[in-house]
Amino acid sequence: MNRFIKCLIKKESSFKPVWFMRQAGRYLPEFNKIRSQNKNFIKLCLNSELSSEITLQPIKRFDLDAAIIFSDILIIPHALGQEVNFVKGEGPILEKLNVKNVLNIKDQEFLKKLRPVYDAIAITRKKLRKDKALISFVGAPWTLLAYMLNLKTNENKLNLESFKKSQNNIEELINKLIHVINLHIRSQKEAGADAVQIFDSWAGLLKNDNLKKFCYMPNSKIVNYSRHINLPSICFPKGIGINYKNFIDIVLPDGISIDYDLDPIWAKNNLKNVCIQGGMSPKILLRNEDDVMKEVEKYLDIFKNNAYIFNLGHGILPNTDPDMIKKVVEKVINYK
């Protein structure tokens, strides 16, 4: 059992594993070289050999405890038949959703479209050292719906008009998404994944009275399924503040990834019986080395006696210096 899994499952606190969200991505020149030759992002995610190569790029540079497969949460809408395009400066643009088509898609058709993801995991697992974990991931139902139904504004707030218009379909769509997400998780495990991270990146759009229905319960069903197939889970319900406590009490994941707006001392005192991950703002990595190391040490000190995986409160920013990542990794590894 590798360090990452020991910390996540056994709640070991004597060491602090380290990996980063978006560790395989735009801050690495070797990634940018591949990306410049592959303009269609979804096609790149579905190129098994390149996906595996990109996944392993940060592992070759840094002594990380885990690799996370290079893919995207929007691979699921794509596999459900909704066209997904990534536009520079705008982000993902999804065509108008055909609800009937999504609800009627067959499991085998869905899985066939995602076969390259599972092949990439299998290739990567063979190349990855046994002491390194391989993380798979999915988007949570609410976050996927936020994209699929255009439920967020350009100011990253809930689009109330779209939300009201979608009420008749949301429950059916969430149930369909839970089903296909679980299929995707199972197939990633069978291909060689050691754990799954469930990204509910837009959970913060929800008001308190909607959190249980759209965030807690769907995540709970996915975590329960992951537990049923013996795959450890980490949840990331970004932006829900002190509702992280309610989330853990209801969802019961193995690990919880905290965002940079959450006070780490509050998290330590209130998030119990769970491995805590992350928290540090990605923007910190853009500062001078002394400032960065002080912030890293702050998080390590706060969670010294807790099961804690060092990570960020969101993904690595594109303008981050890879040398700074190397220094942070070394700092975490050598922390006593």
pLDDT tens string 157-201? 888 888 888 888 999 999 999 999 999 999 999 999 999 999 999
Are 77 and 148 contacting, i.e. CB atoms less than 8 angstroms apart?
yes
Query: What is the mean pLDDT of the segment spanning 233-261?
Result: 98
- Give Cα 38 to chain centroid, integer Å: 23
pLDDT tens string 56-72? 999 999 999 999 999 99
Burial 161-186 (b: 16+ CB within 10 A, else e): eebeebeebbeebbebbbebbbbbbb
Please state the φ and ψ torsions of residue 331, each to the nearest 5 degrees: -60, -45
87 confidence band (pLDDT: 50, 70, 90): confident
Place of tokens 């497969």: 69
Place of tokens 């503040």: 241
Q: Which amino acid is at 6?
A: K
User: For position 290, what pLDDT does the model report?
Assistant: 98
Please name each of the domains of the chain with its CATH number: 3-333 (3.20.20.210)
- Mean of per-residue pLDDT scores for the chain: 96
